């Protein structure tokens, strides 16, 4: 009664609140009247108030547990003191929030039944906290248990890390801080209670990895289907913790202006206030007047064209920076000039440092402009025919950009620009020659004449500082003249140059020479070895070039040589080469046998060499080999490349559309893949690879899976059960293989990729996903061809280290496999591998995975031991497959004695050096894949005969046996 009608002592105290205005007091009265209609608990004023409040909390918790999930309104939330209670109702006033919230909610995906960890990353002040709070306010009603912990950086600093679990448990379960003994194992006592419901946990402003570890523990208290959101300024803190990371973007121009206006002015401003702001803005503009120092005008934001009076800039004596530009890219779309100067332009200024005017409409710069302080001049896509008619004081000018000034004929007015460093004349199609007074530009470092199609010669000048000269696509230039002996980069691609001058030998610092597309070039000078600094030589599409300089092989530092689409028949051997491109050369039939001696070679491109029939042994450090479209290729070396015991690196070997490959060649490629995978597994600790990218990949035409795979399946799905504690078996990696069918070979495709999705069961009914690339193809050369042959085999090797790291980060396995503290049921036991073919976004109809398989590789052996075993195994396989002569009879037996050194010999009585072995081969079984050899040993006199398993000795006897077959 007292509360409802504000009577008695309660009413007396309520009415004493004189400082509260009448409207607010009326709202309070209505609220108190409404509260009195609800059933509640009565406090008599005598009992313990703390216990009374605790009993109310328990009753509320009991009521919440009975409410269905979709009807729940949520429980208590831990908010900082400055948290706004109007978050959910202020969406329209927080600029850019809706778009960011929609993007984040896509990754939230409540329909997914797995637990998702989301990271919100951005620089301080960009809105991470606002976004996290709004996400919480929006989705808390979908969870029975939810908590938002803000300002974790400050809380952990003031109260310590150990207080964080207590805060979280208090808000989720109502546990008192005193009941949480320590952060170590804080959730064990309440695990069963926590696992009753899915939870929404939002951790704001995390600044240390330890804060996440303390708050989330081992994550075993989090029920599947929960959502964990972590906001931080440091992306590295959550790199191995979250499934998805959302980087908060900056506000666009419109939202940024609105956000500024909200805080700079009253956001409840009326029309009158807007008029006042406009009046002040106009006064501000008029006040500046002559004091303007910079003008930046974006024509892309102008709705219509405008004409400027010729005297517009006359009063701006202090103007230093003038930029009239378009935010659109002028190289992709022709800029639309919206500034007209119908009466010309008076520009009697001398303080201008920076002048940038896109599509300057006049034929030359104003004659009254004094550029004595001008440093940077940019007039792209202008209509100028010359810069000035007379010479000007341009002593401070350093950069001039006149690109695509298609009417420019004369480069006048720059003779005094002695400090000019960069001159860009790209696309000046009417420029026929350069002035002789350019030789005064003694500081010029960069000269770009690309696309100057009327340029027919270079003057006899010497630019002593010039380092980069670009003459690309100067199609009318037939003769090149050296204008600087300090050139480091020379671009002659697309010119009509027939030969290089002999004085090119003076370019002792030349590091890059690009002559791509010089279709009239027939020969290259023999002075190539005099270019001591040359590192990159590009002769692509020089179709008439048939011979490489004989002394070219003596070049000591050349790293990149591109000879694609040339007429060369011989391949130069340059020991320093790292990249060699020979694609689209129909004259090459085979590679030199000594190509394996190019130890520095990392990239070899042979695409579309249609006459190539065989490939010899490749160099040992090759990282990328591409023989796509070599339609005459039949054989490859065995082994395909030299295998080394040094640090392993990522490598790719491509044989797509090599449709004439013989069966033996396909087996050789498959055998090489097996060897490479085993070496990588033994050298996994020295591999530096990011994410789940393959360390090795290959593909070739074929319809059968390699015989060395341990698990196979028909179709695109392979399911298996992992052995208990499989992490402890030194599992280093796995080889994945898929046979893909291309039924319609007439269909044109630009690209496709084969990927494998691995699902591991981490708990009963709970799975974790990994995705691996298995193979891909992209038509980068725009060659018109049919798709791949009917079937292709794709093989990759994936390191398991990233898989283990992710499982460790989510506490599914122990970081130390030999000291696992988790039970065996925590280790993944079931696994499924699904292979698909996509175009990057969705599966491609008609492309089918016919078969798939995999093999696990165990690490731990040294690379040297691994190489020895692989060589022995290869010899054994060759022996088993060899056919014996038809005239052998069943009585024919071949025996030889060899000295053996058994691996892992554990007999203390028998020394390996004392044993001899008799190897007996039965011809009846010689044609069988199960070809066996019987081994007997002869001990030294007086010593017992050791017991030796046949499988340990067969391979060592194979080499001597081959002589007798």
Please tell me the predicted confidence (pLDDT) of residue 568: 87
Least confident of 252-256, 363-367, 576-580, 761-765: 761-765
- Secondary structure of 530-551 in the HEC alphabet? HCCCCCEEECCCCCCCCCCCHH
Report CA-CA distances (Å) from 571 to 137, 553, 603, 696. 68, 10, 15, 27
What DSSP line would sit under 644-674, residue for residue?
-SS----EEEE-TT-TT--HHHHHHHHHHHH
Is the separation of the CB atoms in 199 and 115 below 8 Å?
Answer: no
Do 59 and 111 belong together in one domain? no
d(C-alpha 352, C-alpha 545), whole Å: 52
The CATH number given to whatever domain includes residue 845 is 2.60.120
Using the 3D structure, point to which of 17, 45, 71 is the last residue of a domain.
71
Tell which residue, 176, 172, 179, 213, has the closest CA to residue 194.
172
d(C-alpha 672, C-alpha 14), whole Å: 89
Burial class (CB in 10 A: 0-12, 13-18, 19+), 457: middle
CA angle 580, 586, 591 (to 5 degrees): 50
Rounded mean pLDDT, 871-886: 45
768: pLDDT confidence band, cut at 50, 70 and 90?
A: confident
pLDDT in tens, 259-291: 777 766 655 555 556 677 667 766 666 665 667
Q: Is 374 within the bounds of a domain?
A: no
Q: Assess whether pLDDT exceeds 90 at residue 792.
A: yes
369: pLDDT confidence band, cut at 50, 70 and 90?
A: very high
Q: Assess whether pLDDT exceeds 80 at residue 257.
A: no
Do 813 and 684 belong together in one domain? yes
d(C-alpha 56, C-alpha 58), whole Å: 5
d(C-alpha 196, C-alpha 66), whole Å: 12
Tell which residue, 554, 556, 521, 553, has the closest CA to residue 539.
521
Q: Assess whether pLDDT exceeds 90 at residue 633.
A: yes
Least confident of 134-138, 542-546, 627-631, 864-868: 864-868
Do 58 and 111 belong together in one domain? no
Give the H or E element holding residue 615.
strand 614-615
Q: Is 916 within the bounds of a domain?
A: yes
Please tell me the predicted confidence (pLDDT) of residue 182: 53
Looking at per-residue pLDDT, the higher value among 899 and 356 belongs to 356
Q: Assess whether pLDDT exceeds 60 at residue 954.
A: no
Do 135 and 173 belong together in one domain? yes
Please tell me the predicted confidence (pLDDT) of residue 781: 58
Q: Is 124 within the bounds of a domain?
A: yes
Residue 217 neighbours by CB distance under 10 Å: 20
Do 216 and 139 belong together in one domain? yes
d(C-alpha 713, C-alpha 703), whole Å: 13
Is the separation of the CB atoms in 599 and 622 below 8 Å?
Answer: no
Buried b / exposed e along 871-900 (16+ C-beta atoms within 10 A): ebbbbbbebbeeebeeeeeeeeebeeebeb
Looking at per-residue pLDDT, the higher value among 624 and 827 belongs to 624
Is the separation of the CB atoms in 478 and 496 below 8 Å?
Answer: yes
Q: Assess whether pLDDT exceeds 60 at residue 397.
A: yes
Q: Assess whether pLDDT exceeds 60 at residue 930.
A: no
**Token duo for residue 368:** 């009254």
Please tell me the predicted confidence (pLDDT) of residue 168: 83
Rounded mean pLDDT, 744-753: 65
Spatial CB neighbours of 251, under 8 Å, sequence gap ≥ 6: 95, 96, 259
Average predicted confidence (pLDDT) for the chain: 77
Q: Is 552 within the bounds of a domain?
A: no
Do 711 and 857 belong together in one domain? yes
**Token duo for residue 275:** 């008029």
E strands, 78-209, in order: 116-121, 145-149, 199-206
Domain that holds residue 22: 2-71
**Token duo for residue 629:** 């479209």
Q: Is 956 within the bounds of a domain?
A: yes
Q: Is 669 within the bounds of a domain?
A: no
Do 821 and 932 belong together in one domain? no
Is the separation of the CB atoms in 72 and 144 below 8 Å?
Answer: yes
What share of the chain has pLDDT > 70, as a percent? 73
Strand partners, 753: 776, 838
Spatial CB neighbours of 675, under 8 Å, sequence gap ≥ 6: 639, 643, 870, 874
Whole-model pTM: value is: 0.63
Helix, strand, coil share (%) of the chain residues, nearest 5: 25, 20, 55
Q: Assess whether pLDDT exceeds 80 at residue 902.
A: no
Buried b / exposed e along 318-340 (16+ C-beta atoms within 10 A): ebbbbebbbeeeeeeeebebbbe
Please tell me the predicted confidence (pLDDT) of residue 716: 93
Q: Assess whether pLDDT exceeds 80 at residue 70.
A: no
**Token duo for residue 193:** 């209670």
Tell which residue, 718, 668, 722, has the closest CA to residue 698.
668
Rounded mean pLDDT, 11-22: 71
Q: Assess whether pLDDT exceeds 90 at residue 714.
A: yes
Please tell me the predicted confidence (pLDDT) of residue 138: 84
Please tell me the predicted confidence (pLDDT) of residue 827: 57
Q: Assess whether pLDDT exceeds 90 at residue 354.
A: yes
Using the 3D structure, point to which of 196, 222, 254 is the last residue of a domain.
254
pLDDT in tens, 423-442: 999 999 999 999 998 989 99
Q: Assess whether pLDDT exceeds 50 at residue 882.
A: no
Q: Assess whether pLDDT exceeds 80 at residue 925.
A: no
Q: Is 531 within the bounds of a domain?
A: no
Q: Assess whether pLDDT exceeds 80 at residue 869.
A: no
Using the 3D structure, point to which of 254, 285, 308 is the last residue of a domain.
254
Q: Which of 331-340, 371-380, 892-901 has the highest mean pLDDT?
A: 371-380
Q: Assess whether pLDDT exceeds 90 at residue 785.
A: no
pLDDT in tens, 439-486: 899 999 999 999 999 999 999 999 999 999 999 999 999 999 999 999
955: pLDDT confidence band, cut at 50, 70 and 90?
A: very low
- Torsion angle of alpha carbons 601, 605, 606, 607, nearest 10°? 170
Is the separation of the CB atoms in 407 and 431 below 8 Å?
Answer: no
d(C-alpha 228, C-alpha 107), whole Å: 12
pLDDT in tens, 176-189: 655 555 555 667 77
Do 759 and 814 belong together in one domain? yes
Rounded mean pLDDT, 926-951: 39
d(C-alpha 920, C-alpha 896), whole Å: 7
Please tell me the predicted confidence (pLDDT) of residue 886: 38
Q: Assess whether pLDDT exceeds 70 at residue 906.
A: no
**Token duo for residue 716:** 């695109």
Please tell me the predicted confidence (pLDDT) of residue 645: 58
957: pLDDT confidence band, cut at 50, 70 and 90?
A: very low
Tell which residue, 701, 689, 734, 690, has the closest CA to residue 859.
734
Looking at per-residue pLDDT, the higher value among 19 and 575 belongs to 575
Looking at per-residue pLDDT, the higher value among 862 and 487 belongs to 487
Do 55 and 96 belong together in one domain? no
Do 686 and 749 belong together in one domain? yes
Three-state DSSP at 712 gives strand
Q: What letter does residue 528 receive in the DSSP assignment? A: G
How many structural domains does the chain have?
4
pLDDT in tens, 478-519: 999 999 999 999 999 999 999 999 889 999 999 999 999 999
Q: Which residue has the tokens 């102008």?
A: 302
Rounded mean pLDDT, 394-414: 92
Is the separation of the CB atoms in 678 and 795 below 8 Å?
Answer: no
CA angle 635, 638, 640 (to 5 degrees): 85
Rounded mean pLDDT, 652-662: 93
Q: Is 680 within the bounds of a domain?
A: yes
Q: Contacts from 809-814 at CB under 8 Å and sequence distance 24+?
A: 809/240, 809/241, 810/117, 810/219, 810/241, 810/762, 810/768, 811/218, 811/219, 811/220, 812/762, 812/763, 812/768, 813/727, 814/727
Tell which residue, 655, 630, 635, has the closest CA to residue 785.
630
Do 18 and 122 belong together in one domain? no
Do 722 and 837 belong together in one domain? yes
Please tell me the predicted confidence (pLDDT) of residue 823: 41
Please tell me the predicted confidence (pLDDT) of residue 944: 42
Q: Assess whether pLDDT exceeds 90 at residue 320.
A: yes
Least confident of 136-145, 189-198, 826-835: 826-835
pLDDT in tens, 567-605: 888 888 888 999 999 999 998 999 998 899 999 999 999
The CATH number given to whatever domain includes residue 208 is 3.40.50.300
Q: Assess whether pLDDT exceeds 50 at residue 550.
A: yes
Please tell me the predicted confidence (pLDDT) of residue 461: 92
Give the N- to C-terminal CA distance of the chain in Å, as an integer.
Answer: 113
d(C-alpha 636, C-alpha 616), whole Å: 6
d(C-alpha 425, C-alpha 404), whole Å: 7
Rounded mean pLDDT, 883-897: 36
């Amino acid at each position: 009664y007292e509360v409802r009608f504000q009577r008695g002592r309660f009413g007396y105290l309520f009415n004493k609140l004189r400082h509260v205005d009448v409207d607010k007091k009326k709202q309070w009265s209505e609220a108190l009247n409404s509260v009195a209609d609800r059933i509640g608990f009565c406090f008599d004023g005598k009992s313990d108030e703390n216990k009374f409040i605790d009993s109310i909390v328990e009753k509320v918790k009991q009521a919440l547990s009975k409410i269905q999930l979709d009807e729940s309104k949520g429980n208590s939330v831990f908010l900082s003191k400055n948290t706004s209670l109007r978050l959910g109702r202020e969406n329209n006033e927080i600029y850019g929030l809706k778009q960011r919230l929609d993007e984040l909610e896509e990754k939230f995906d409540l329909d997914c039944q797995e637990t998702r960890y989301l990271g919100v990353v951005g620089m301080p002040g960009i809105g991470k906290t606002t976004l996290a709070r709004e996400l919480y306010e929006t989705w808390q009603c979908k969870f029975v248990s939810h908590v938002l912990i803000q300002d974790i950086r400050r809380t952990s600093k003031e109260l310590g890390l150990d207080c964080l679990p207590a805060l979280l448990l208090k808000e989720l379960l109502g546990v008192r801080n005193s009941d949480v003994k320590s952060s170590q194992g804080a959730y064990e006592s309440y695990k069963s209670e926590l696992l009753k419901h899915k939870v929404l946990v939002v951790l704001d402003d995390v600044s240390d990895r330890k804060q996440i570890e303390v708050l989330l523990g081992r994550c075993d208290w989090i029920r599947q289907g929960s959502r964990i959101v972590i906001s931080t300024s440091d992306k590295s803190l959550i790199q191995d913790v979250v499934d998805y990371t959302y980087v908060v973007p900056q506000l666009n121009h419109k939202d940024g202006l609105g956000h500024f206006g909200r805080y700079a002015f009253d956001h409840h401003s009326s029309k009158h206030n807007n008029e006042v702001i406009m009046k002040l803005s106009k006064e501000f503009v008029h006040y500046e007047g002559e004091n303007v120092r910079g003008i930046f005008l974006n024509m892309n934001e102008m709705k219509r064209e405008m004409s400027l009076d010729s005297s517009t800039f006359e009063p701006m004596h202090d103007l230093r920076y003038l930029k009239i530009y378009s935010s659109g890219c002028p190289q992709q779309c022709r800029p639309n000039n919206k500034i007209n100067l119908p009466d010309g332009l008076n520009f009697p200024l001398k303080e201008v440092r920076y002048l940038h005017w896109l599509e300057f409409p006049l034929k030359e710069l104003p004659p009254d402009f004094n550029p004595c302080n001008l440093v940077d001049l940019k007039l792209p896509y202008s209509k100028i025919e010359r810069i000035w008619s007379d010479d000007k004081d341009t002593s401070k000018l350093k950069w001039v950009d006149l690109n695509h000034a298609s009417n420019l004929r004369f480069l006048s007015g720059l003779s005094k620009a002695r400090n000019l460093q960069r001159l860009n004349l790209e696309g000046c199609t009417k420029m026929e020659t350069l002035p002789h007074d350019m030789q005064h530009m003694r500081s010029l470092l960069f000269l770009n004449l690309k696309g100057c199609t009327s340029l027919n010669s270079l003057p006899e000048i010497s630019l002593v500082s010039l380092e980069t000269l670009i003459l690309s696509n100067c199609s009318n230039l037939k003769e090149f003249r050296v204008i600087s002996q300090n050139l480091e980069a020379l671009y002659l691609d697309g010119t009509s140059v027939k030969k290089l001058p002999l004085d090119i030998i003076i370019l002792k610092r030349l590091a890059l020479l690009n002559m791509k597309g010089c279709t009239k070039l027939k020969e290259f000078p023999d002075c190539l070895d005099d270019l001591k600094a040359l590192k990159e030589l590009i002769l692509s599409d020089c179709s008439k070039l048939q011979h490489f300089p004989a002394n070219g092989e003596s070049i000591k530092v050349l790293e990149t040589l591109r000879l694609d689409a040339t007429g060369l028949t011989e391949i130069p051997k340059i020991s320093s080469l790292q990249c060699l491109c020979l694609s689209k050369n129909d004259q090459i039939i085979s590679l030199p046998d000594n190509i394996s001696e190019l130890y520095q070679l990392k990239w070899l491109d042979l695409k579309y060499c249609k006459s190539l029939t065989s490939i010899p042994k490749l160099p040992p450090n090759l990282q990328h080999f591409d023989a796509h479209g070599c339609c005459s290729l039949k054989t490859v070396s065995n082994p395909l490349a030299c295998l080394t015991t040094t640090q392993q690196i990522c490598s790719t070997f491509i044989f797509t559309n090599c449709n004439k490959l013989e069966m033996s060649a396909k087996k050789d490629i498959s055998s090489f893949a097996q060897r490479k995978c085993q070496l990588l597994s033994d050298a996994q600790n020295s591999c530096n690879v990011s994410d789940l990218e393959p360390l090795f990949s290959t593909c070739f035409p074929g319809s059968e899976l390699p015989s060395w795979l341990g698990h196979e399946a028909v179709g695109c799905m392979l399911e298996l059960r992992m052995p208990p504690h499989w992490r402890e078996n030194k599992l280093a990696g796995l080889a994945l293989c898929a046979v893909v069918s291309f039924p319609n070979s007439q269909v044109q495709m630009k690209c496709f990729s084969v990927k494998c999705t691995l699902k591991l069961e981490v708990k009963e009914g709970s799975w974790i996903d990994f995705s691996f690339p298995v193979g891909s193809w992209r038509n980068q050369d725009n060659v018109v061809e049919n798709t791949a042959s009917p079937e292709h085999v794709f093989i990759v090797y994936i390191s398991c280290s990233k898989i283990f790291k992710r499982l460790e980060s989510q506490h599914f396995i122990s970081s130390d496999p030999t000291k696992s503290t988790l039970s065996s049921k925590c280790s993944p036991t079931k696994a499924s591998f699904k292979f698909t073919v996509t175009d990057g976004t969705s599966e491609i109809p008609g492309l089918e995975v016919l078969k798939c398989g995999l093999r696990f590789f165990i690490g731990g052996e040294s690379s040297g031991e691994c190489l020895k075993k692989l060589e022995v195994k290869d010899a054994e396989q060759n022996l088993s497959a060899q056919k014996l002569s038809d005239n052998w009879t069943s009585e024919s037996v071949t025996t030889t004695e060899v000295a053996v050194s058994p691996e892992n010999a554990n007999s203390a009585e028998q020394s390996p050096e004392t044993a001899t072995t008799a190897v007996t081969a039965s011809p009846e079984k010689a044609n069988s894949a199960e070809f066996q050899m019987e081994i007997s040993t002869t001990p030294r006199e007086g010593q017992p005969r050791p017991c030796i398993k046949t499988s340990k000795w067969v391979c060592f006897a194979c080499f001597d046996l081959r002589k007798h077959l």
